[in-house]
Structure formats: structure tokens, C-alpha cells
Amino acid sequence: MNGPDEAREIAMAALGRDPGPMTGAASDSHHVYLGPDVVVKIIDAAGHSRLDREIALVPRLPAGLTAPLLSSGRRRLGTREVRYACYTRVPGTAPGMGLPGADRVTARLLAKEAVQRLGRLHSWMPADEAEQTLRAPLDHGGFVSRAALLAEIGNLPTLDRDHVIARDLLDGLTAIAEQAPPRAQIVVPVHADCHWGNWLARNRSVTALLDFEWARFGEPADDWFFLARFSGPHLETVLDVIAAETTADLDSLRAACEVREAAHIAADLRIALGRPGFPAGLGAERLRGLEALIIGRHWWRSRSREA
């Protein structure tokens, strides 16, 4: 049985009827299949457990925030045991990483609605199983504390046996870490992966936020970082929208986002350095991001121009 047939069998059981043709969609961590009005995510049962996290949360999230869950579980498909989740397909398409093709007005409209939806998530008060799920340990690679970030960065030279990462870039990371707060707050539910590939939008209006596999307790800046960083040329526009909608101080917002990017880059470099052929793939991408963070200072470029 091939992938589309597996997805069709799952969707048929959830809908009680033929779901129509199922086509594959791009995904880094699952097999994802789309039907006219249904979406199926499949992963081998021995794979990562983050889909279980999403399945536990989606039915309990604030209404209208994400795609409704129709069914989930484990089943044997051919010779494989898989975990799956079947969702109602929400209208719209992903704006995409970097908001390709979006003009400034569209970026502002989408960002405003995204911030408002995230505000509903941040003000949600989960109980019982949802709270337990959000508090369950998760190696998310984000900012936890100043000490942890300094330790992560301090370990990179030891792992970088070929001395690929320039010393001035590591010094720049360390300087950011030294200005970080003592520790991150763990106060509100956050999505923690809300880049523009995980939103759906139609006619300049947001329709859903998808993929709650990394959701946890944190602080709003954990989400503001993803929203702004992956807005491509509209980073400044999105930062302005976030500040206006949340009454956040713009410089404090920039600093919080910079710390979070430093944490994610350091964690990803640690992972990439453990793979053969560094720098390639993830490693090369993170090195480019590190240069943009330290040399390009993209969180502060417009402020520098104003000064």
C-alpha cells in the first residue's frame, strides 16, 4: 500500500465516505496528504512523538484557532505500524517562509491577524490534560536561561574540530547571551514554531495556525520571534505590528527576538556539528543565519540607520 492509499484509508474511516483523491504535501517530519476537505498526517510509530503532543492539544485549543481534529491513533498499514492524525482541511494556503510575493500592505494585514490569534493562544488557560501536555519536557532548542545559552555557545568550539565557525561570530553570540535575561518565563501557552509556513491565509486574511507539535509553556516573545524572523523583507513591518498590537517596547522586542535566534542557532549548530560533512545542509544554513545575526545585525538594522 502506498502513501496516498494509506491516507485515503484513514480519511475514509474518519469521514465515513470516500474522501476523494489524496495528494502528497511537503513536510520535513511527516508524510502529509491533502484531500479536497481533509488532511492526513502519518509517521512511523517508532518516529518522534511530537504528533501525540499535537493530538492531545488540538481538541482543547481556543475555538477557531487551528484545523479541527477528526480522528487520530495508531494502525497497521500494510507491513508498517503508524501514528496518524486526520484533520478537516481549512480554506487557504500558507503564505510561506519569508512571505514571498507579499506586498507591505498584505504583510501588515496578515501580521495583525496573526498577532491577534496568537494573543488568544497566550491568554488561553489550559486545564487538566492540556496543561500536562504543555508542561511535559520538550527539547525545543529555544531560550531557557542565560547560563544555559552561554554553556551551549561555550561548547561549540570543542565540537567544531575543523574550526569552521569564525571566532568573531562565536564572540558575537556570547555577547548576545551575556545580555539575556537570567531565565525565560514559563507563563503562557506558546506555539513555538509559528513561522509563515505554519499559517493558512486567504484573501489577505489568516484562516488557521497549524502544527502544534512544539507547543509548550513559555512567554509571548517565543512566538513573536518566529513571526518576525521569517517575514523576509517585511521584518520591520511585522515588528511594528507586534509592538502596536501588544504595546511592547520595540527595542525590548528586538532584544528578545535576538536572544531567541541566538539560542536556536546555537542549538542547531550543536546538532549539525555532530553530523558528517559539516558544514552542509542544516549546518550551512545556520552558519548563514549566524552571519546575518552577528554581522548583519538584522534585528537592529533600521534602528542603526535612524541613529
Domain count, the chain: 2
72 in a structural domain: yes
Residues 278 and 133 in one domain: yes
Compute the distance between CA of residue 50 and CA of residue 54 in angstroms, rounded to an integer: 7
Closest CA to 124 of 58, 68, 70: 58
97 in a structural domain: no
Residues 218 and 170 in one domain: yes
Cβ atoms 69, 87 nearer than 8 A: yes
Compute the distance between CA of residue 37 and CA of residue 89 in angstroms, rounded to an integer: 5
Closest CA to 169 of 289, 264, 282: 289
171 in a structural domain: yes
229-252 exposure pattern, b = at least 16 Cβ within 10 A, e = fewer: bbbbebbbbbbbbbbebbebeeee
Would you say residue 76 has pLDDT above 60?
Answer: yes
Q: What does the pLDDT read at residue 304? A: 54
Residues 61 and 126 in one domain: no
Q: Which of 88, 121, 155 is the endpoint of a domain?
A: 88
Residues 81 and 142 in one domain: no
Q: What does the pLDDT read at residue 46? A: 84
95 in a structural domain: no
Q: What is the CATH number of the domain that holds 64?
A: 3.30.200.20
Would you say residue 1 has pLDDT above 50?
Answer: no
Q: What does the pLDDT read at residue 307? A: 44
Domain that holds residue 55: 3-88
Proportion of the chain above pLDDT 90, given as a percent: 86
- The grid cell for 66 is 487551528
94 in a structural domain: no
Compute the distance between CA of residue 278 and CA of residue 231 in angstroms, rounded to an integer: 27
Neighbour-count burial of 153, counting CB atoms closer than 10 A to its CB (0-12 exposed, 13-18 middle, 19+ buried): buried
Which residues, in sequence order, are bridge partners of residue 59? Answer: none
**Choice among 3-12, 152-161, 197-206 with the minimum mean pLDDT:** 3-12
Q: Which of 88, 117, 152 is the endpoint of a domain?
A: 88
Residues 83 and 112 in one domain: no
Q: What does the pLDDT read at residue 73? A: 94
Average pLDDT in the chain: 94
Sign of torsion over alpha carbons 65, 71, 73, 75: negative
52 in a structural domain: yes
Compute the distance between CA of residue 42 and CA of residue 39 in angstroms, rounded to an integer: 10
Q: What is the pLDDT of residues 115-149, one digit of tens each?
A: 999 999 999 999 999 999 999 999 999 999 999 99
Residues 80 and 111 in one domain: no
Q: What is the CATH number of the domain that holds 276?
A: 3.90.1200.10
45 in a structural domain: yes
Cβ atoms 218, 256 nearer than 8 A: no
**Choice among 5-14, 76-85, 157-166 with the minimum mean pLDDT:** 76-85
R_g (Cα) of the chain, nearest Å = 20
Residues 19 and 122 in one domain: no
Helix (H, G, I), strand (E, B) or coil at 4: helix
Compute the distance between CA of residue 270 and CA of residue 155 in angstroms, rounded to an integer: 8
Residues 23 and 118 in one domain: no
216 in a structural domain: yes
Q: What is the pLDDT of residues 210-267, one digit of tens each?
A: 999 999 999 999 999 999 999 999 999 999 999 999 999 999 999 999 999 999 999 9
Residues 162 and 251 in one domain: yes
Closest CA to 222 of 260, 176, 258, 267: 260
What is the average pLDDT across 270-285?
Answer: 91
Q: Which of 88, 114, 131 is the endpoint of a domain?
A: 88
Q: What is the pTM of this model?
A: 0.94
